[in-house]
Amino acid sequence: MKPVSQLPAVRVASSSVREPELAAAELARQLVHDNLGCVLFFCSVEYDLQKLGPALQKAFSGVRVYGCTSAGEITEQGYDRGCISAIGFDARYFAIDCALIRQLDRFTLQDAQGVIDQMLTTCRDASLAPVKGNTFAITLLDGLSSREELVLATLNAALGTIPQFGGSAGDDERLADTHVYYDGEFHCGAATVMLVNTPLDFRVFSTHHMEPLNEKLVVTRACPQSRTVYELNAEPAAEVYARAVGVSLDELDRKVFALRPLGVRVGGNYFVRSIQRVNPDRSLTFYCAVETGIVMTAMAPGSLLDSVRTQIEASERVVGTPLVTLGCDCFLRRLEAELTGQSDAVSEFLKAHRVVGFNTYGEQFNGMHITQTFTGVVIGQPEFST
């Protein structure tokens, strides 16, 4: 008997063409086939998004297309910038449904349960595999909405045992406007959640390489809504942080933030809380939620490449030769790789292990919003009949 299909269960594509219609057409040439069921993409905000949205819808007529803007792309060739990276899923191996969440601050558990139940129905109707053990969720959120924690916790409660990962949309480090893409349009202040059901083996994972130091900083005054810490140890936050990492207040910049973040210990594990900026009043604004009373720990980088290698290779031992790995890699990790001369090595590793994805403004894993982390899913090859 011949193999079930000579086509891979996923195809990956990328385009650096700047004209939206031509870029969409180039992606379609690489991805479209008779059984294409869904496309997931990540794009630079250097594109004219008002033109790119309908161009993608037209190029992939009849195919569901979802995605978001990025702070850097991961293509089949490794790290890239100013382009579009995309994955096409074969409907014979993947049952996928997606929902748009518009009002992030009003998203209730009842809303989440309704969204998840509808998508579960779609997956069950496809009859590819039982939901339990064969389903995962991908979340993409407006990276400047400051609502990730609320939405993720609510979704996690509705998902139950279904593993979830994702990333916050970026805008090439401009920190101005980030977007998710749904139904032919780019949306601000919104999120998408995708449910993926597949008979293929997969493993969802998350890892970071930051190691705790001895310095402890107590948040003594903060505004959770704006993610701003005004005081650490009852002193201006920026002054305390600068002392803790051994630099002057004037030297605080994104390079320092990338190499010396703070962390919060939860259940025996440290989760990174990256700093976005220093404000004129010497407060610090973070990419993740911070609250008065939490204890933060100064962190320092371990081996950036070893941490992701350990997780991906462990996943490959579980699922076998990877079909693809969908990765959400914090833009601050990429910045660190560039600052320390590791960018080429990391890029080559991602290429060798078939990683496709994007650089994010924050990562998501099983209901938690985290930063300076690499999270994703490794999907194994299908076993063709012979």
Q: How confident is the model at residue 384 (pLDDT cuts 50, 70, 90)?
A: low
Q: How confident is the model at residue 7 (pLDDT cuts 50, 70, 90)?
A: low
CA gap 11, 34 in Å, rounded: 13
Q: Is residue 134 part of a domain?
A: yes
Mean pLDDT value of segment 144-163:
92
- Confidence (pTM): 0.92
Q: Is residue 1 part of a domain?
A: no
Q: Where a domain ends, among 301, 335, 369?
A: 301
Q: Are residues 82 and 199 in the same domain?
A: yes
Q: Which two tokens stand for residue 212?
A: 């705790």
Number of structural domains (the chain) is: 2
| CA 285 to the chain's CA centroid | 20
Q: Which domain holds residue 315?
A: 10-207+306-380
User: H helices then E strands: how many in the chain?
Assistant: 9, 26
Q: Is residue 385 part of a domain?
A: no
Cβ atoms of 74 and 211 closer than 8 Å: no
Mean pLDDT value of segment 337-351:
96
User: Strand 355-360 and strand 322-330: pairing?
Assistant: parallel
User: Considering the chain, what percentage of its residues have pLDDT values greater than 90?
Assistant: 90
* Residue 105 scores a pLDDT above 60: yes
Q: Is residue 3 part of a domain?
A: no
- Integer-rounded Cα Rg, in Å, for the chain is 20
Cα 153 to Cα 170, 235, 310, 360, 369, distances in angstroms: 21, 31, 28, 19, 9
Query: CATH no. for residue 254?
Result: 2.40.30
